Amino acid sequence: MSQPNAIHYELTCPVFFIGFMGAGKTSVSQQLAVTYGLASIDADEYLELRENRIIADIFAEDGEDYFRDLETDVLKDLAARSPRLIGCGGGVVTKRPENARIMKESGFVIYLMVTADGASKRIPNTDSRPMFKNLETARRTIVERAPQYEAAADVAIQTEGRSVPDIAQEVAAILLEQGVMVKKEED
């Protein structure tokens, strides 16, 4: 009796997740990585490893500009590597216009939309996020950033009140439809 062919999935280009802190960029990319056997990485974690410092300390010791330079450098580095799911920091499209260009030219960009109230429920400890000062500021920042997220994205997905597996399923359907994720059968 013949065995069914093994199926696996591949990305044809990097997939960048953008959106405000707490939108689910890391969780959704991890969920997709586990479900479809894809590589995933959190750009901020990678930056912290490379710098050997946490982001809160980089902000406190060297300021936001220094952090934004590192962020662009990390983005270029990841864009040039083999395709993977990349969870970006919430401010990636705000201060360095070249970041949106790097992502658009090298990959597919997914904007996960969230409100400040929704985000605050998902962030267990806002102390680790220097840009999430309080709910009022977060509300204003999201409104300010929304046009920048929209302009940088290939697609936007509403995440409010939805579970991570549910959002991941919608993302997977889009990636398959766009040919960014492809199904391969091994014989």
Nearer to ligand S3P, 9 or 46 (CB): 46
CB-based contact 43:70 (threshold 8 Å): no
CB-based contact 9:182 (threshold 8 Å): yes
Kindly calculate the radius of gyration of the chain based on its CA atoms and give it in whole angstroms. 17
Give the residue, chosen from 55, 93, 168, 180, that forms a contact with ligand S3P under the rule CB under 6 A.
Answer: 55
Across 27-136, where does the E strand assignment appear? 40-42, 85-87, 108-113
Give the residue, chosen from 89, 93, 106, 116, that forms a contact with ligand S3P under the rule CB under 6 A.
Answer: 89
Q: How far is the CB of 119 from ligand S3P (least distance, A)?
A: 9
Q: How far is the CB of 152 from ligand S3P (least distance, A)?
A: 14
Q: What does the angle CA 161 – CA 16 – CA 42 come to, to the nearest 5 degrees?
A: 80
CB-based contact 17:25 (threshold 8 Å): yes
* Residues that contact ligand S3P, how many (by CB under 6 A): 9
- Mask of contacts with ligand S3P, 17-46, x by CB under 6 A? ----x----------------------x--
- Mask of contacts with ligand S3P, 108-147, x by CB under 6 A? ---------------------xxx----------------
Q: What does the angle CA 63 – CA 73 – CA 76 come to, to the nearest 5 degrees?
A: 150
Q: How far is the CB of 143 from ligand S3P (least distance, A)?
A: 14
Alpha carbon 66 to its chain's center = 21
Give SS3 for 134.
Answer: coil
Give the residue, chosen from 90, 111, 118, 175, that forms a contact with ligand S3P under the rule CB under 6 A.
Answer: 90
Binding residues for ligand S3P (CB under 6 A): 21, 44, 55, 89-91, 129-131
